[in-house]
A and B are shown apart, each in its own frame.
Chain A
Amino acid sequence: MRIKNVNDLKLIADQYNAELKKYEHTIYVCGGGGCISSKCQDTKNFVDSYIKEQGLSDKVNVIFTGCMGTCAMGPVVLVEPERIYYVHVTPERAKDIIDRQIIGGEVIEEYTFFDANLNKHIPCIDDIPFFAEQVQIVLNKCGKIPFDSIEAYIAKGGFTAVAKAFGMTQQQIIDEVTASGLRGRGGAGFPTGIKWSAGMKAQGDRKCIVCNADEGDPGAFMDRSAIEGDPFCLIEGMMIGGFAIGANNGYVYCRAEYPVAVERFNKALDIAREWGMLGENILGSGFNFDIELRIGAGAFVCGEETALMNSIQGERGEPRQKPPFPFESGLFGCPTIINNVETYYNIAEIINRGADWFAQYGVGKSKGTKVFALAGDVINTGIVEVPMGMSLRKLIFEIGGGITDGMKFKAAQMGGPSGGCITEKNLDTSVDYESLTALGAIMGSGGLIVMGENTCMVDTARFFMQFIQDESCGKCTPCRIGTKRMLEILERITQGKGTLEDLDTLEELSYTIKDTAMCGLGQTAPNPVLSTLANFRDEYEAHIVGKTCPAHICSALAKYYIDPEKCKGCTLCARNCPVQCISGKVKEPHVIDQNKCIKCGACMTNCKFGAVIKK
Chain B
Amino acid sequence: MSKVNITINGKPYEAEAGKTILEVARENNIYIPTLCYLEGVNQYGGCRLCMVEVETNGRPMRNLQAACMIKISDGMSIKTNTERVRKARKVNLELLLSCHPKDCLNCNRSLDCELQTLARRMNITERRFEGESKDIPLDISAVMTRDMSKCVNCRRCVAMCNNIQKIGVLNAQKRGFKTIIQPSFGKHIADTDCTNCGQCISVCPVGALRETDAIAPVIAAIEDPKKYVIAQIAPAVRVGIGEPFGMPSGTVATGKMVAALRQLNFDEVFDVNFGADLTIMEEGTEFLQRAKAALTGGEAVLPMMTSCSPGWIKFIEHRYPELLPNLSSCKSPHMMQGAVTKTYYAEKLGKDPKDIYLVSIMPCTAKKFEIIRPEMNENGVRDVDAVLTTRELANMIKQAGIDFVNLPDEDFDPVMGLSTGAADIFGVTGGVMEAALRTVYELVTGREIPSDNLHVHPLGDSDQIKVASLTFENVLPEYKFLEGFTARVAVTSGFDGAAQVMEMVKAGENFQFIEVMGCPGGCIVGGGQPRGVRSEKWAARKAGIYSIDEGKKLRKSHENPDIIKLYKEFLGEPCGHKSHELLHTHYTARGKYNELIGKK
* Chain A residues closer than 8 Å to B95, beta-carbon distance: 477-478, 481-482, 485
Whether the Cβ atoms of A514 and B63 lie closer than 8 Å is yes
Q: Given contacts A321-B69, A488-B131, is CB(A474)–CB(B47) below 8 Å?
A: no
B residues within 8 A CB of A469?
176-177
Chain A residue contacts of B179, Cβ below 8 A: 472-474, 480
Considering only residues 513-554 of chain A, those with a C-beta below 8 Å from chain B are 514-518, 523
Pick the residue among B71, B98, B175 that contacts A485 (CB under 8 A). B98
Residues of B within 8 A of A481 (CB): 95-96, 98-99, 177
Interfacial residues of chain A within 490-527, with CB under 8 A of chain B in the complex: 505, 508-509, 512, 514-518, 523
Q: Closest CB-CB distance, B382 to chain A, in whole Å?
A: 41
Cβ contact within 8 Å between B175 and A474: yes
Contacts of A301 in B (CB 8 A): 175
Give a binary string over B285-298; 1 marks a CB under 8 Å from any A CB, 0 the rest.
00000000000000
Contact between B177 and A484 (Cβ–Cβ < 8 Å)? yes
Q: Check if A515 sits within 8 Å of B175, measured CB to CB.
A: no
How far is B129's CA from A603's CA once the two chains are assembled, in angstroms?
38
Asked if B177 contacts A508 (CB within 8 A), the reply is no
Q: How far is the CA of A509 from the CA of B47 in the complex (A)?
A: 15
The residue from B46, B63, B132 contacting A475, defined by CB atoms under 8 A apart: B46
B47 near A477 with CB under 8 A, answer: yes
- From known contacts A481-B95, A481-B98, A508-B91, infer whether A476 and B45 are also in contact, taking CB-CB under 8 Å: yes
Asked if A471 CB lies within 8 Å of chain B CBs, one says yes
Interface residues of B in 15-68 (CB under 8 A from A): 44-49, 51, 63-64, 66
Alpha-carbon separation in the docked complex, A480 to B100 (Å): 13
User: In the complex, which residues of chain A have a beta carbon less than 8 angstroms from the beta carbon of B49?
Assistant: 477
B506 within 8 A of partner (CB): no
**Which residue of chain A is the closest to B177 with respect to CB atoms?**
A484
Nearest A-chain residue to B87, judged by Cβ: A512
B134-167 contacts to A, CB under 8 A, are: 153
Pick the residue among B66, B88, B153, B174 that contacts A512 (CB under 8 A).
B88
Is the pair B129, A518 in contact by a Cβ cutoff of 8 Å?
A: no
- Contact, CB under 8 Å: A516 / B69: no
Q: Does B171 contact A (CB under 8 A)?
A: yes
Shortest beta-carbon distance from B324 to chain A in Å: 30
Q: Look across to chain A and name the residue whose beta carbon is closest to the beta carbon of B35.
A: A477
B66–A472 contact, CB under 8 A?
Answer: no
Provide the residues of chain A in CB contact with B104, threshold 8 Å.
none
C-alpha gap A388/B51 in the complex (Å): 38
Residue A299 CB within 8 A of the other chain: yes
Residue of A nearest to B45 (CB): A321
- Give the docked Cα–Cα distance between A483 and B129 (Å): 12
Residues of A within 8 A of B88 (CB): 512, 515-516
User: How far apart are the CA atoms of A481 and B176 in the complex, in Å?
Assistant: 8
Most chain B beta-carbon neighbours within 10 Å: one of A299, A481, A518: A481
Residue B172 is within 8 A (CB to CB) of chain A in the complex:
yes
Question: Quick one: closest B residue to A468, CB to CB?
Answer: B176
Which residues of chain A from 439 to 480 have any CB-CB distance to chain B below 8 Å in the complex? 468-478, 480
Within 78-110 of B, Cβ neighbours of A (below 8 Å) are at: 84, 87-88, 91-92, 95-96, 98-99
Q: How far is the CB of A516 from chain B (nearest CB, A)?
A: 5
Residues of B near A515 (CB, < 8 A) are 51, 63-64, 84, 88
Contacts A483-B176, A512-B88; is A478 near B132 (CB within 8 Å)? no
- Check if A474 sits within 8 Å of B69, measured CB to CB: no
CB-CB contacts below 8 Å: B420-456 with A? none
Cβ-defined contact, B92 with A478, below 8 A: yes
How far is A115 from B261 in the complex, measured between Cα atoms in Å?
A: 91
Within A338-360, which residues are at the interface with B (CB < 8 Å)?
Answer: none
- Contact present for A516 and B176 (CB under 8 Å): no
Q: How far is the CB of A517 from chain B (nearest CB, A)?
A: 7
- For chain B, the count of residues having a C-beta within 8 Å of the partner chain is 35
Residue of A nearest to B131 (CB): A488
Can you name the residue of chain B whose Cβ is closest to the Cβ of A316? Answer: B172
Instruction: Give the shortest distance, in Å, between B189 (CB) and chain A (any CB).
Output: 19
Knowing A484-B131, A516-B48, the reply to whether A477 touches B176 (Cβ < 8 A) is: no
- Report the separation of the CA atoms of residues A316 and B153 in the bound assembly, to the nearest whole angstrom: 15
Instruction: Please name all residues of chain A whose beta carbon is closer than 8 Å to the beta carbon of B98 when the two chains form the complex.
Output: 481, 485
Closest to B73 in A: A323
Q: Which residues of A contact B128 (CB under 8 A)?
A: 505
**Contact: A523 with B63, CB < 8 Å?**
yes
Establish whether residues B177 and A478, one from each chain, have CB atoms under 8 Å apart when the complex forms.
Answer: no
In whole angstroms, what is the CA distance A602 to B59 when docked? 59
Given the interface contacts A316-B172, A471-B176, A477-B46, does A516 sit within 8 Å of B129 by beta carbon?
Answer: no
Which residue of A471, A480, A485, A514 is within 8 Å of B129 (Cβ)? A485
Set of chain B residues within 8 Å of A512, measured between Cβ atoms: 87-88, 91-92
The residue that A517 contacts in the complex, of B48, B70, B84, B178, with Cβ under 8 A, is: B48
Task: Kindly state the separation between the CA atoms of A215 and B178 in the bound complex, as whole angstroms.
Answer: 23
Q: Give the chain B neighbours of A480 by CB distance below 8 A.
A: 153, 176-177, 179
Q: In whole angstroms, what is the CA distance A512 to B86 when docked?
A: 11
Task: Write out, one digit per residue, whether chain A residues 43-78 have a CB within 8 A of any chain B CB (1) or not (0).
Answer: 000000000000000000000000000000000000
> Assuming A488-B132, A508-B91, A523-B63, is B96 touching A477 (CB within 8 A)?
yes
Which residues of B have CB within 8 Å of A482?
Answer: 91-92, 95
**For the complex, what is the distance from the CA of A82 to the CA of B175, rounded to whole Å?**
53
> How distant is A1 from chain B, measured CB to nearest CB, in Å?
48
Q: In the complex the two chains form, what is the Cα distance from A507 to B368 in whole Å? A: 50
B175 touches A471 (CB 8 A): yes
Give Cα A345–Cα B66 distance, bound, in whole angstroms.
Answer: 36
Nearest-neighbor residue (CB-CB) of A473 within chain B: B175
Given contacts A477-B47, A515-B88, contact A472 B132 (CB under 8 A): no
B45 touches A474 (CB 8 A): no
Q: A474 with B174: in contact, given A481-B98, A517-B48 (CB under 8 Å)? A: yes
Chain B 2-25 near chain A by CB (<8 Å), digits 1 or 0: 000000000000000000000000
Known pairs A474-B179, A484-B177; A518 contacts B87 (CB<8 A) = no
What is the chain B residue whose CB lies nearest that of A466? B176
Distance (Å) between the CB of A313 and the closest chain B CB?
14
Asked if B64 and A516 sit within 8 Å, CB to CB, the answer is yes
Q: Chain A nearest CB: distance from B130 CB in Å?
A: 8
CB-based contact A477/B175 at 8 Å: no
CB distance from B54 to the nearest CB of A (A): 12
CA distance A480 to B181 in the complex (A): 14
Instruction: Indicate if the CB atoms of B64 and A474 lie closer than 8 Å.
Output: no
A270 shortest CB reach to chain B, Å: 34
A473: chain B residues at CB < 8 Å are 175-176, 179
Please state if B131 and A516 are interface contacts (CB–CB under 8 Å): no
Nearest CB on B from A372, distance (A): 27
Q: Complex Cα distance A419/B149, Å?
A: 33
Instruction: Check if A472 sits within 8 Å of B45, measured CB to CB.
Output: no
For B172, the chain A residues whose CB sits under 8 A away are 316, 318, 474-475
By the criterion CB–CB under 8 Å, are B63 and A478 in contact?
no
A contact residues around B63 at 8 Å (CB): 514-516, 523
Kindly list chain B residues whose C-beta atoms are within 8 Å of the C-beta of A483.
Answer: 176-177
- Complex CA gap A478/B64 in Å reads 12
The one of B66, B92, B176 that contacts A321, using a Cβ cutoff of 8 Å: B66
Q: A477-B96, A485-B131, A512-B88 are in contact. Are A518 and B175 (CB under 8 A)?
A: no
Which of B's residues lie within 8 Å of A, judged by CB?
44-49, 51, 63-64, 66, 69-71, 84, 87-88, 91-92, 95-96, 98-99, 128-129, 131-132, 153, 171-172, 174-179
Identify 5 residue pairs between A and B in the complex whose beta-carbon atoms are under 8 Å apart, listed by A's number: A474-B177, A477-B47, A477-B92, A477-B95, A478-B92
Given contacts A474-B176, A483-B177, A484-B177, 4 further A-B contacts (CB under 8 A): A474-B172, A478-B95, A518-B46, A518-B48
Q: Which 4 A-B pairs have the closest CB atoms?
A: A474-B179, A484-B177, A481-B95, A472-B176
